[in-house]
Structure 1
Amino acid sequence: LDSSVWIWTNENPVSGQNYPPNTARAFRYTMTLPDGHTSGTATAMIVADDEYSLYINGHFIGTGTVFNVAQQFVADVQGPEIVIAVYAVNTQTAPTPAGVLASIQVVSQDGYCGGCSSTTSVLSGTSWKAFPGTIPSGFEQPGFDDSAWPAAGSEGQNGAPGTRATPALSFATSDWIWTTELSGGTAPVGSRGFRKTFVLPEGKTPASLSIVFAVDDEASLWVNGDQVVTNQVGWTNPAATCVNLYGCQCALLIAFNATNTGGPAGLLVSALVTYTDGSTSPIISDGSWRASTGGIPGGFQNLSFDDSTWALVVTEGGNGVSPWGNIQISGANPPTCPST
């Protein structure tokens, strides 16, 4: 969301105030996929001050009610035109700021070239349309004519009108992972080490790491050698925590001691690094993680440990795959970091 712009209608503010009326407004953007691309997958990150409902090609995708916590949604789409529509509400009883902030990325497939794909990105900005009046019926449908709608007004990039939107943690793009010992959907009984080393972008100073995970069957978590979660059991109630990074300038290490007590085994992770400038980087469980087999060597949780001989993990499918089903994140999201 760092390059997205907060938008709203360009209507006059309430008399004697600097803010727009407290009411609902509609926003639309029509994107066109590259030639030959007719279908794909859309990943949307969106937030609004105060509430929103998101539609893609007329289908309801999701809603949110917290203006400084962005939500991520994933949906299959059909092109070649993709219509993004947002129903947003400024809900407060007194005139207050109002805005929509969004980033949508569509990975589409070429119908003429097997295996060829392309990524098209859309950011909220003045290229969107915004209707400054009662929302017309059917505004979210692809066939709706918005040619008379004026352009949306810009309120500044993420960080305006006053608070930077922090993305919520989501398992939408995470994979269940385990070691190469998986066979027929089951794994040997015992504990295994899992590691993900994240190289921090140049010029960025990390402030905190928010992380949530589900496990089949048990796991403990270390961040840069410090144990932060002990003996989390089961996958139906994911464990979430936030760790202050105290301006660490090095790489970031996430390490798990995960135990299978029998049958299927898996680890599902979503994390978010927040930097001192308010920007963020996501980390998910995927095929880039490394895992030990046959046990866990001493010191595996330390950044200095050499895991180059560990094999890459096996991915077992995304959130929703059997036998675990769709895992929901409850509680504060993202989790609150302890005061320093």
Structure 2
Amino acid sequence: MIFKVAETLILLALCVTQALAIDFTNSKWIWTSEGGTDLQKQPGSRAFRRDYYPPLGKSALSADILIVGDDGYTLYLNGKQIGVGQSWSVAQAYCVRLAPSCNVFAVNVTNGSNVPNPAGLLAAIQIKYTDGFVETVVTDSSWHVNTNVPAGFQEVGFDDSTWPAATVEANYGASPWGLISTPPSAASPRLSLTDANWIWTNEVSGGNAPIGNRAFRKTITLPAGQRATSATITLTADNWYTLYVQGKVVGTGFDFRAAQKYVVDILPYSEEVTIAVWALNGNGPTSPAGLIAEVDLTMEDCECGSVLSLVTDGSWKYNLGTPVGFEQVGYDDSAWPAAVVEGKYGMQPWGNVVVPTAVSPPSGPAPGAPSAMPASVAM
């Protein structure tokens, strides 16, 4: 087990040290057509969108994004916020997982100050496919732009068919911007327990739920050709929990006020990861009940820093009992309903639970939880 954990750490180090393979060489500064060729633009925010479809027969895997906005920007992918920048002279780099087919890159760019001044968006996006093929998208007239920022403009289904094409202001390196400082590498957006939601079943009423055991599951299916090597899971539950990964018992917690953090080897490496939780609401006849967790999956490849982050939300599933074998890989939970989101981390009655910095040791199942083979857990 010690050797396996060391191997995982070496893999992470190799992935993190990868250099960013894109630059702004072929990118254009773009904006709206306001003011014609005059680079002095009115203050305010503008919306940009670029729909991207892979070539026939190819599946998109990930994208390295290099971006900067004058004066600041908020970047979205398929409706989800990826990052922000607040200086036109320093670019930011991101690595994100893509949907296999259509992907929508959207940016809200704000021209600051109270008087007309230069404004623009500059980006380069290197898209990687499951077969190893690489393609680069840059800011140019293929982007659509709007002079205001409509609600929901970042969503995949938003209709931008009436938006005009972006206006090319200048090539990269031209005045008044010159050369832009770029980071050496791109890092995956990483979540934490504070980004997670408290979830439970549909039994919660007035903040309370009946006592008893409940089962929760989350199955993560990775893009084609990608396999997870380990999972780092931070979680707690009110009142007790036992955590299972790939059908094996990881550990148990008995106090919702402090979370535990486990690093679990996934053996063999897998394109599908099953996380299951046996949870008990033990104070009765009714009392607050909830589960909260954040998961980082480490990949064997070096795409996007090799980590995929996710949290407890409405995509998890629950059962009002604890059916035999529910913790196992391949268990059919298709008829289970979606978990009910009670609220974000920090909500009452739980407040700010203690988030660990060190890993927790493995432990056996709680009384009444299913027995299973022990997982390979780092200590």
Tell me, what secondary structure is at the counterpart of 1:246?
strand
Percent of paired sites with the same residue? 30
In the alignment, is residue 31 of structure 1 matched against residue 53 of structure 2? no
In the alignment, is residue 289 of structure 1 matched against residue 316 of structure 2? yes
Give me the whole-angstrom Cα distance separating, in 1, the residues matched to 2:228 and 2:112. Answer: 36
Give me the whole-angstrom Cα distance separating, in 2, the residues matched to 1:185 and 1:339. Answer: 36
Give me the whole-angstrom Cα distance separating, in 1, the residues matched to 2:221 and 2:378. Answer: 25
Aligned to 1:266: 290
Aligned to 1:332: 358
TM-superposed CA distance for 1:28, in Å, is 9.1
TM-score by length of 1: 0.56
Report matched runs for 1:73-152 at 5 Å. 80-81=110-111, 116-118=152-154, 151-152=180-181
1:6–1:320 distance in 2 versus 1, CA, 3 Å: farther
Report matched runs for 1:252-263 at 5 Å. 252-262=273-283, 263=287
1:42–1:201 distance in 2 versus 1, CA, 3 Å: closer
1:5–1:327 distance in 2 versus 1, CA, 3 Å: farther
TM-superposed CA distance for 1:332, in Å, is 3.1
Residues 30 and 81, structure 1, Cα contact 8 Å, conserved in 2: yes
TM-score by length of 2: 0.50
Point out where structure 1 has 5 or more consecutive residues left out of the alignment: 8-26, 35-39, 46-54, 58-77, 84-109, 121-126, 130-146, 159-164
In the alignment, is residue 234 of structure 1 matched against residue 263 of structure 2? no
TM-superposed CA distance for 1:44, in Å, is 4.5
Give me the whole-angstrom Cα distance separating, in 1, the residues matched to 2:194 and 2:219. Answer: 21
Aligned length: 229
Q: Deviations over 1:287-339 (max 9, x none)?
A: 0111011x211111011211122111110111121111233422237999857
Give me the whole-angstrom Cα distance separating, in 1, the residues matched to 2:230 and 2:112. Answer: 36
Structure number having the greater helix percentage: 2
1:210–1:256 distance in 2 versus 1, CA, 3 Å: same
Q: Deviations over 1:198-249 (max 9, x none)?
A: 112211121111100021111000001000012x012221011011113433
Give me the whole-angstrom Cα distance separating, in 2, the residues matched to 1:79 and 1:338. Answer: 44
Q: Tell me the amino acid that sits aligned with residue 118 of structure 1.
A: Q
Q: Deviations over 1:71-120 (max 9, x none)?
A: xxxxxxx974589xxxxxxxxxxxxxxxxxxxxxxxxxx9885x624279
Q: Tell me the amino acid that sits aligned with residue 309 of structure 2.
A: P
Aligned to 2:104: none
Point out where structure 2 has 5 or more consecutive residues left out of the alignment: 1-14, 23-67, 88-107, 114-146, 157-170, 363-375
Residues 194 and 289, structure 1, Cα contact 8 Å, conserved in 2: yes
Residues 346 and 353, structure 2, Cα contact 8 Å, conserved in 1: yes
Structure number having the greater strand percentage: 1
Aligned to 2:31: none
**CA radius of gyration, larger in:** 2
Q: Tell me the amino acid that sits aligned with residue 271 of structure 1.
A: V
Give me the whole-angstrom Cα distance separating, in 1, the residues matched to 2:179 and 2:300. Answer: 37
Please give the root-mean-square deviation of Cα atoms over the aligned residues, in Å.
4.3
Q: Tell me the amino acid that sits aligned with residue 352 of structure 2.
A: N
Give me the whole-angstrom Cα distance separating, in 1, the residues matched to 2:217 and 2:378. Answer: 27
In the alignment, is residue 299 of structure 1 matched against residue 325 of structure 2? yes
Tell me, what secondary structure is at the counterpart of 1:248?
strand
Report matched runs for 1:26-65 at 5 Å. 30-32=71-73, 44=83
Q: Deviations over 1:22-79 (max 9, x none)?
A: xxxxx99733469xxxxx996649xxxxxxxxx969xxxxxxxxxxxxxxxxxxxx97
In the alignment, is residue 206 of structure 1 matched against residue 228 of structure 2? yes
